[in-house]
Structure 1
Amino acid sequence: MTDRGSSEKAASLAVGPGLGSEVVVPQHGPEREAITRRLKLKLDLRLVPYLGLLYLFNALDRGNIGNARLAGLEEGTHLTGNDFYNALSVFYAGYTISQIPNMFMLKKVTPAVLVGVTMVLWGVCSTSMAATTSFAGLAATRFFMGVFEAGIGPAAPVILSFFYLRHELAWRTALFYGSSTFAGAFGGLIAYGVATNLADKTLAPWQLLFIIEGIPTIALGVLTIFVLPNAPETLERWFVTPEERQVAIERSRAGLNTDTTALDRRQLLAALKDTKNLFTCLIYIGLNIPLASYTSFLPTIVKLMGYTDAEAQLMTVPPYACALACVFAVCWSSDRTRSRGLHVAGSAAVACAGYILLISSASTKANYAGACFVAMGLYPITPLMLSWVANNNVGHTKRAISIAMLNTFGQCFATVGTQIYKQQTAPRFFTGYGVCLAFAALMIVVSLALVVYLGRENARRDAAYGEPKELTPEEQLAAISDGVYDEHPSFRYFT
């Protein structure tokens, strides 16, 4: 059950129904390598960028409320007191309750339908925010936007795991997730353009923001239903050759995708009882509290540097640009070294340095630098964690539910992140920064503990069973059918 050496050898068991006869392709040698390179290039040019585009709009629609606040949202919707922070929290309530149901639907209705339909629905919610005139209307649209945005977040890593091997996931996940970091910069540019060029039109700038970023989401959701690949067997003839499709299927089997059941209740229970999933959920809790709060304090810090509202929108771009570079660099290194936990701990340490700078200095320029360090440390951790969980859970249902658990626990505590800066004097958010620093430190401790835990388990299996052997698809399916999953003697965890 490893993906080393001969992990792509031929198999006689299809990943799913409806394939028909298999094409015979060489298992080794230059021809096989050439077919694999062509296939990966095609997937890298189509699947990964398209998922990235979807997640870009996901992040834009979720995060544009921070830019809308600078553009007059609170005045236009008559928000008072802590209404803005409460509206942020409501989103995560909707996002949390729909995580696991969305994973149940993933294989029932196919990924393309799930992602496409939910995208249309959250686009409608995002656009409708332009028509709100009160806290109640804003909260309602944010809640349902959270419900529907949960369709793509946990689904995308599962979809990628159908097409890529375990050691290829972090880099591809970073490419798709990096778009959410890019959205922070792109959203600031859009807000700047609206504030400088459309401020005197019939609609207020904050309303135009929601409309400009919401309508394309709806159109893209409709397109997704028809163009997003669901599985290797469904890759179109115009996109891949028969040989490339067969290699894609064999790679999917090597990536531990041999079970054909849409929902396996035993895998659901196995995911809930898995000790390592408790570790990863705790790390994700530590991540989501500071991550959810980031868009709350960054615009405020920038505005207190003396910029106008329009200039402040533009100055939110550099921290996200720095974060994007770190996302790509850290995840590339993680795949090259096949190490997840040490990269999580290192990234969290960078975030800690940023919060220490924010707490210790009264200088707005130092605060801005601290905000850059926080973004550079936090944003790489999400693709690392999504890849880590996907790497270490065998079986479609177990993998999907484990990722959903990760997001559910994380988003539950994200509501804390939206509340910790209220009733504090900007930019000296001592309580908020202190809470985020504590949870960033928690990530370091727990990720290193998980590295030790998984490393010892791998060493125990090496001592008990010797070097892991490559299983045939029939043996993989038997391991899943028997409820063994990633506890199989030939499975080794990514640390």
Structure 2
Amino acid sequence: MSDSGISEKRDHISEEDPTDDVYVPDSGPEREAIVKRLKLKLDIRLVPYLALLYLFNALDRGNIGNARLAGLEEGTHLKGNDFYNALSLFFAGYTISQVPNMFILKKVTPSVLVGVTMILWGICSTSMAATKSFSGLAATRFFMGIFEAGVGPAAPIILSFFYLRHELAWRAALFYGTSTFAGAFGGLIAYGVATNLTHESLAPWQLLFIIEGIPTIFLGIITIFVLPNSPETLERWFVTPQEKKVAIQRSRSGHNTDSSLLDKKQLVAAFKDYKNIFTCLIYIGLNIPLASYTSFLPTIVKLMGYTNAKAQLMTVPPYACAIVTLLLVCWNSDRTQRRGYHVAASAAIACIGYILLISSNRVGANYAGACFVAMGLYPIIPLMLSWVSNNNVGHTKRAVGIALLNTFGQCFATVGTQIYKTNTAPRFFMGYGVCLAFTVVMIVVSLVLSFVLKRENARRDEIYGEPKPLTPEEQQQAVENGVYDDHPSFRYFI
């Protein structure tokens, strides 16, 4: 079977299955044992590797906040709102490349897309060390945004090839959870650079970009050769023939049967689907506070009275707290097969944080508020991406749904880079108020969408009875006929 792209590897219906002669039981303890071994191998290889990639993605994206405390503004002669505008340009680049990347993913293998874009954004990140003006910083941030969009949005698609619907949120949490590690590591690295590293011709902020950018380039090169692309291309040294056949069967049962490069009907259906409109609204509500948090946490902590070096170090505990809630919330979301309620609960935690930041001028309360904000915001990322992946049938529809989510979210992320103006320091009432308002929006919209989907599932149960699993052929027919997730046997994750 061809290895040139997702479309060719996904042609299950017309091409001969290379594992047809391999016997695998349909049920029973033997099959359960095979599935358990397969998932363990994937959990050891695929999930940690994707997590490592996203760690560098988030590290390179967020290190500008730490670089600011290390002298970036002075070294690049920034004035007025130049710093905030440079932040906004990253999200401009990130936004315009969302949908194109989803179609490129259908044309080339995930390993090529992810690996090449990593190399390119690593070059941009490292090049920021050589910038001497706003124009240079703005250009590197803009192009870094374009290339960073190759990893984050593609990850849910890649995971959906290997895991079932109710297994996605936990794995996505392990993947996206590394963004919280990036925040913690970024603070530790910045603290180490500021206190221990000196160079006769390079400033601390330049060393920071170089130290965090160069490894990304090398990791991108490795990724081209080692990242698994699909169950059909799993290597013999990695899985047994039985495990490979089960992986293919599981992928088919997860609505991975259509093989077209770009299905125009699915493209239109993705734009018309009310669920995608709802999820975009939720993601807009997330990205405004999230963009501001990752970029300005070092500044916010510094204004609590800490020195520059100590402020870098004090950014670590909020991210550590976020790791705990992220893993717990997403594990329970998979266990209960509920997404919206967990989004609303997480947003409520973030609300508590912003209320503490607004209502008190005490350092302890403000710092606790910063921790609560991180604990509430970060679980929502994998929850939303899993929710969209769960409820969109068809490769193109699913890819466009995720691309729309990221596009609209990142468009409004530029708002988050503009709301913490220096002239509103140190309390940032406007910034905190805007973020609080949008976390409330997340709560309301996620609960409304959950109610609507629950009612739709109940309606289908009443009309069609209990749903039955679809065969790959039935899934393919549903896609070709434009039925998608409106099929009588399909039930939404709520």
TM-score interval (norm. to shorter): over 0.9
Q: Map of 1:32-47 to 2, 5 A cutoff?
A: 32-47=31-46
Alignment of 1:278-293 (within 5 A): 278-293=277-292
Per the alignment, residue 316 of structure 2 pairs with: 317
Shift of 1:15: 7.1
- 1:212 is matched with 211
CA positional deviation for 1:17: 5.2
Q: Distance in 1 between matches of 2:157 and 2:69?
A: 36
Matches within 5 A, 1:86-485: 86-485=85-484
Structure-2 change in CA distance of 1:34 and 1:117 (3 Å): same
Contact persistence 2:91–2:411 (CA under 8 A): yes
Q: For residue 4 of structure 2, what is the aligned residue in structure 1? A: none
Amino acid aligned to 1:468: P
1: CA distance, partners of 2:11 / 2:304: 62
Q: Given the superposition, is the C-alpha separation of residues 379 and 423 from structure 1 closer, same or farther in structure 2, using an over 3 Å criterion?
A: same
Query: 1:127 is matched by which residue type in structure 2?
Result: T
Amino acid at match of 2:471: T
Alpha-carbon distance in structure 2 between the residues aligned to 1:452 and 1:39: 35
Amino acid at match of 2:484: Y
Q: d(CA) in 2 for partners of 1:110 and 1:348?
A: 35
Query: 1:116 and 1:478, CA in 2 relative to 1: closer, same or farther beyond 3 A?
Result: same
TM-aligned CA deviation for residue 440 of structure 1: 0.3
Structure 1 counterpart of 2:18: 20
- Length, aligned pairs only: 484
Q: CA deviation at 1:424?
A: 3.1
| Cα deviation, residue 199, structure 1 | 3.2
The normalised TM-score by structure 1 is 0.96
Q: Deviations over 1:264-316 (max 9, x none)?
A: 11111110110010000000000000000003432123213333222211110
Matching residue of 2:5: none
SS across alignment from 1:233: helix
Q: Cα deviation per residue 1:56-103 (whole Å; 9 max; x = unaligned)?
A: 000000000000001000000000111111100000000000000000
Could you give the per-residue CA deviations for residues 379-420 of structure 1, whole angstroms, max 9, x where no partner exists? 000000000000000011111110000000000000000001
CA distance in 1, matches of 2:184, 2:137: 24
> Is the partner of 2:442 in helix, strand or coil?
helix
- 2:24 partner SS: coil
The 8 Å contact of residues 19 and 245 in structure 2, kept in 1 or not, is answered as no
Asked if the contact 1:15–1:257 (Cα under 8 Å) also holds between the matched residues in 2, the reply is: no
Which stretch shows the higher mean deviation, 426-435 or 155-164?
A: 426-435
Deviates more, 1:259-268 or 1:412-421: 259-268
Describe the SS at the equivalent of 1:424: helix
SS of 1:433's equivalent in the other structure is helix
Once the 2 structures are TM-superposed, how far is the Cα of residue 31 of structure 1 from its aligned partner? 1.0
**CA separation in 2, counterparts of 1:295 and 1:152?**
18
Q: What is the CA distance between 1:263 and its match in structure 2?
A: 1.6
Q: Which amino acid in 1 is paired with 2:437?
A: A
Separation in 1 of the partners of 2:310 and 2:485?
A: 52
Q: Which runs of 5+ in 2 are unaligned?
A: 1-9
Q: For residue 335 of structure 1, what is the amino acid of its counterpart?
A: D
Q: How big is each residue's C-alpha offset from its partner over 1:229-278, in whole Å with a ceiling of 9 and x where there is no partner?
A: 11000000000000000000000011110111122111111101100100
Paired AA for residue 154 in structure 1: P
SS at the partner of 1:33?
Answer: helix
- Matching residue of 2:30: 31
Contact kept, 8 Å, 1:13 with 1:474, in 2: the verdict is no
> Does the 8 Å contact 1:15/1:253 carry over to 2?
no
Residue type matched to 1:137 in 2?
A: G
Q: Secondary structure at the match of 1:152?
A: coil
Q: CA deviation at 1:202?
A: 2.6
Residue 19 of structure 1 and its aligned partner are, at CA, apart by 4.3
Distance 1:304 1:461 in 2: 55
Per the TM alignment, residue 470 of structure 1 is displaced from its structure 2 partner at its CA by: 1.5
Partner-residue secondary structure (3-state), 1:20: coil
TM-score normalised to the size of structure 2?
0.96
